[in-house]
Structures are given as C-alpha cells and as structure tokens.
Amino acid sequence: MTETADSNVRTAAPPDEAGIERLYSSELANETEFLAARTRSVGSRRANEVLASLDLKVRSYSVLSLACSGLNPSQRELAEFLFLDPSQIVALVDQLEKRGAVKRKADPRDRRSNIITPTAAGKKLYAEAAAEVQAAGESALSALSPDERNQLRDLLRRVAFADQQD
C-alpha cells in the first residue's frame, strides 16, 4: 500500500475507521499461539519465495536439511520430527531422490527403515538453500536486536520441544 499524500487527509473520516492496524489491539493479536502462527506465515512465505529459485519449498528444504545433518534420519523419524504423515515423507523423498539430491539407504540394523542421506549434489544444493533461507530469516527478524533474536529462538526452542509426553 502506497501511503501517499492522503495519509494525513481527514476527509470527514469516521473515528472507528482507521486501517487494519486497529486489529492489532484485538485479543486475538495478543494470543501467543496466534502470533506464532502469523510469524510462521510470514516466515514460510519469505522462505518459499527465496527457495523457489532452487525449485524447493520449506517442506523439501526441511527434509534436505535433516538429510544433510549427519544424523542419518529414517523416514519415520522425519515424519515424527516434522509433524507430517509418513506418506507425505514418501512423496518428499521421492522428489528429492528423483532430482538426485538424496538417497534411500537401507538401515543395516533394521531393513524396514530407510535412512535418508544426501548426495554430493544434495549437499551443494542444501548449502545454497541454507544461505538464502538464513538471509531471509535475518530479514524477517530485522525488528529485533541480535540479543533479542537469540532470546526468541531459545524461548521458541523450549516451547516447540516441550511436549514429549502426550
């Protein structure tokens, strides 16, 4: 929205009509859960934009990232960690495998499991993607100081990984 010269013009403007910012004072806008959802929306939108040039989305990027983590995740673990259905992991790994970024490797200890490992091309792709995602993330957090960014990340970590029971 281009806030041009008419931003100060009060053309008999009614008092209750101000613009969408007035909704910032709603109860909903003060619920942590809603704010997390909105933050995620903003973040994933930006991330998807920068990832589009690499033909990736946040989903496939997440799988690629974990495949490159050196932690040798199985598909079941990817599903559990990313809160996705195992069948969705199948599709995501299919795509990444088809383009030569990851490989399914049989787990020698449990031949039911597929361990997802990156190829050389996959590692390179991840390096590029991670750089772009991180840059976009910094941009999204530009309202916060470096200290505050660390604070936010640590608080989110504790909430995001708190529910190990249920």
- Which residues between 4 and 43 bind DNA (CB under 7 A)? 6
Residue 160 interacting entry, from DNA, a second copy, none, C-beta within 5 to 8 Å by type: a second copy
User: 137 and 43 in contact (C-beta within 8 Å)?
Assistant: yes
Residue number with CB closer to DNA (95 or 123)? 95
- Which of 61, 64, 54, 55 lies closest to 116 in space, CA to CA? 64
- Residue 36 touching a second copy (CB under 8 A): yes
Chain centre distance of CA 66: 13
**Contacted entry of DNA, a second copy, none for residue 114, CB cut-off 5 to 8 Å set by kind:** DNA
Alpha helices in the chain (DSSP H): 32-52, 58-67, 75-82, 86-98, 120-140, 146-160
Among positions 132-151, residues that touch a second copy (CB under 8 A) are 133-134, 137, 140-144, 148-149, 151
Instruction: Give, as ranges, the residues between 73 and 102 that touch DNA (CB under 7 A).
Output: 74-76, 79, 84-90, 93-94
Q: Does residue 164 belong to the site contacting a second copy (CB under 8 A)? A: yes
| Structure-block tokens of residue 116 | 């997802």
Contact of residue 94 among a second copy, DNA, none (CB under 5-8 Å per partner type) = DNA
Coil, strand or helix at 8: coil
- The reply to whether 54 sits near DNA by the rule CB under 7 A is no
Binds 119: which of DNA, a second copy, none (CB < 5-8 Å by kind):
none
Q: What is the DSSP letter of 105?
A: E
Give 6 or 154: the residue with its C-beta nearer to DNA: 6
Torsional sign, CA 52, 35, 127, 75 = negative
Contact at 8 Å (CB) between 88 and 79? yes
Closer residue to DNA in complex, CB, 58/141: 58
